Structure 1
Amino acid sequence: MTNISNTERTCRICLVRHGETAWNAERRLQGHIDIPLNETGLAQAEATALRLLGQELRFNALYSSDLQRARQTAAAIARHHRLELNHDERLRERHYGFFQGLTYDEAERQHPEFYRRFKSREIEFAFPDRGESLAEFAERVHDALHDIANRHAGHHVLVVTHGGVLDIVHRLATDEPLDSPRNFPIPNAALNWIAHTDGEWQLLAWADESHLGDTLDELPNA
Structure 2
Amino acid sequence: MQAQHQTRICFVRHGETDWNVEKRMQGHTDIPLNANGIMQADRLAKALLKTGQHFDCIYSSDLERAFHTAKTIAIPQSLDVLIHPDLRERHVGKLQGLLLADAPRVEPELWQRHLTRELDFDLGGGESIVQFHARMQRMLNHFFVKHAGKQILAVSHGGALDMIYRIVTQQALNAERVAVVPNTSLNWITHDGNTWAIERWGDTSHLTDSVLDNIEI
So what's the TM-score if we normalise by structure 2? 0.95
Alignment-derived partner of residue 207 in structure 1: 202
Alignment-derived partner of residue 187 in structure 1: 182
Q: Is the 1:8–1:153 Cα contact (8 Å) retained in structure 2?
A: no
Offset at 1:142? Answer: 1.1
Alignment-derived partner of residue 73 in structure 1: 69
SS in 2 for 1:79: helix
Provide the C-alpha distance between the structure 2 equivalents of 1:196 and 1:118, rounded to a whole number of angstroms: 32
Q: Is the 1:15–1:159 Cα contact (8 Å) retained in structure 2?
A: yes
Alignment-derived partner of residue 138 in structure 1: 133
- Post-superposition Cα deviations, 1:72-91, rounded to whole Å, max 9, x if no partner, equal 00010011111121001111
1:23 aligned to which of 19, 26, 34: 19
SS in 2 for 1:217: coil
Provide the C-alpha distance between the structure 2 equivalents of 1:118 and 1:132, rounded to a whole number of angstroms: 11
Alignment-derived partner of residue 36 in structure 2: 40
Alignment-derived partner of residue 98 in structure 1: 94
SS in 1 for 2:29: coil
Provide the C-alpha distance between the structure 2 equivalents of 1:57 and 1:27, rounded to a whole number of angstroms: 32
Offset at 1:199? Answer: 4.5
Provide the C-alpha distance between the structure 2 equivalents of 1:67 and 1:151, rounded to a whole number of angstroms: 23
1:91-130 alignment runs, 5 A limit: 91-128=87-124, 130=125
- Post-superposition Cα deviations, 1:87-124, rounded to whole Å, max 9, x if no partner, equal 01111000011111101121111111211111121211
Alignment-derived partner of residue 3 in structure 1: none
Provide the C-alpha distance between the structure 1 equivalents of 2:95 and 2:53, rounded to a whole number of angstroms: 40
Q: Is the 1:122–1:134 Cα contact (8 Å) retained in structure 2?
A: yes
Aligned pairs, number: 214
- Post-superposition Cα deviations, 1:173-207, rounded to whole Å, max 9, x if no partner, equal 11111111112211000100001232411000000
2:169 aligned to which of 148, 169, 174: 174
Return 5+ residue gaps in structure 2 as ranges: none
Provide the C-alpha distance between the structure 1 equivalents of 2:215 and 2:104, rounded to a whole number of angstroms: 14
So what's the TM-score if we normalise by structure 1? 0.93
What is the Cα-based RMSD across aligned positions, in Å? 1.4
Q: Is the 1:28–1:103 Cα contact (8 Å) retained in structure 2?
A: yes
Return 5+ residue gaps in structure 1 as ranges: 1-5
Provide the C-alpha distance between the structure 1 equivalents of 2:181 and 2:53, rounded to a whole number of angstroms: 23
Provide the C-alpha distance between the structure 1 equivalents of 2:194 and 2:137, rounded to a whole number of angstroms: 12
Identity %: 43
Alignment-derived partner of residue 13 in structure 1: 9
- Post-superposition Cα deviations, 1:43-98, rounded to whole Å, max 9, x if no partner, equal 00101111111332331010000000000000100111111210011110000111
